[in-house]
Every structure is written in C-alpha cells, then in structure tokens.
Homo-oligomer: A and B are copies of this chain.
C-alpha cells in the first residue's frame, strides 16, 4: 500500500513519520476524542513531540488531515442519497442520519466542524466547505422539485444539523436517539403536503 497522502514530495523518513502520526492520531482520536493528548499521539507513533509539530503545527491541522478521507465519504453519501430516488422525507432522513453518524466517529469533531464552518482562518474550514457543498447538493435537488419551503437556506440547515450532531456527541446519544431532533428539522424545511 502506498503512503497515506499523495501530496507534496517529502524525504522518505519524513513521509514514514507523517503516515505513522496520522495512523496514531486516528487511533487515539477514536479512543479519546479530538481533544486527546498530542504527546500520546507522538508516543504511539514512536516519534519525538517536535516531529509532530513539524508536520502539524496546530491540533486543527492534524484533525484536518484525519478528516480528509472522511469528508470525501460524506460527499459521496450525498450523491448516493440523491441517486436513490427516495421521497423527500426519506431522502433527508437518510442524508442527515449518515451525516450525524459520520461526524460522530471522532468525539469532539462535531463541535470542531460546527465552529470552523464560519471561521475562514481555521485549517478545517476547507473541509467544512466540502460538507456544506454536499448538503447544498441534496437540498438543491429537493428544492428543484419544489419540495422545500420558500426561503430555506442550506447553510442554516447545515448549522442546525451540525448542532444536532454536537448534541448527540456531547450527550452520548445514539444515532437513533438523534432522529427525533432531525425529524423536527425535516418538518421545518419540507413544504406542507397540503399546500397547492
């Protein structure tokens, strides 16, 4: 298997360390959440703390790298959901459900995404744009079929759903336990079936 990132050219040992750090970060973030000790990550990767800082100057840079493949998964989910041809309500349930589930893999990630959405200076900002774009695709698809209420802004919906993901994360709710909240949002953005 090739190295994790195909990005810029690095010395072989640097690339190896980069990969080990990323793998260690994934493990430790999964175990202890996105606030885990960076020192532990360096230890698990078997490198000095300085090496971690060389590759990832801030915690968010490390989180950003960990999120890369993950945000691509979310994006492809949005295409699948649209292609599935479900009705509007089921489309949103599936899409929001997958979103909350995916973002919940790393504890603390939902809060990071939530606050990075409106912060261009955050290293995670661009990754958030992928998520915002994916959500916009789904909502635009439904809007094109006249299924949404007037004035629904996909950005606000994204904020709401990432807020729900954060609630689910911090209150240790399962995906099932977050559906009542998601259903309220869905009712709030879908046009009434009784309308002309």
Measuring CB to CB, which residues of chain A are less than 8 angstroms from any residue of chain B?
111, 114-115, 117-119, 149, 152-153, 156-157, 159-160, 162-164, 166-167, 170-173, 180-181, 183-189, 192, 194-195
22 contacts between A and B (CB under 8 A): A111-B170, A114-B166, A114-B171, A115-B171, A118-B172, A119-B171, A149-B187, A156-B184, A159-B181, A160-B164, A163-B166, A166-B166, A184-B185, A184-B189, A187-B187, A187-B188, A187-B189, A188-B189, A192-B192, A192-B194, A194-B194, A194-B195
**A12-B36 Cα distance, complex, nearest whole Å:** 42
**A163-B173 Cα distance, complex, nearest whole Å:** 13
User: What's the nearest-Cβ distance from chain B to residue A20, in Å?
Assistant: 31
Residues in B whose Cβ lies below 8 Å from that of A166: 111, 114, 163, 166-167
Of B111, B117, B185, the contact of A188 (CB 8 Å cutoff):
B185
Residues in B whose Cβ lies below 8 Å from that of A167: 114, 159-160, 162-163, 166
Given A163-B163, A163-B166, does the pair A171, B118 have CB atoms closer than 8 Å?
A: yes
- Copies held by the complex: 2
**A92-B193 Cα distance, complex, nearest whole Å:** 23
**A129-B115 Cα distance, complex, nearest whole Å:** 27
Q: Indicate if the CB atoms of A157 and B184 lie closer than 8 Å.
A: yes
Of B160, B180, B183, B195, the contact of A184 (CB 8 Å cutoff):
B160
**A181-B188 Cα distance, complex, nearest whole Å:** 10
User: What's the nearest-Cβ distance from chain B to residue A153, in Å?
Assistant: 6
Interface centre among A152, A156, A162, A172 (most CB of B within 10 A): A156
Residues in B whose Cβ lies below 8 Å from that of A171: 114-115, 117-119, 159
Residues in B whose Cβ lies below 8 Å from that of A118: 171-173
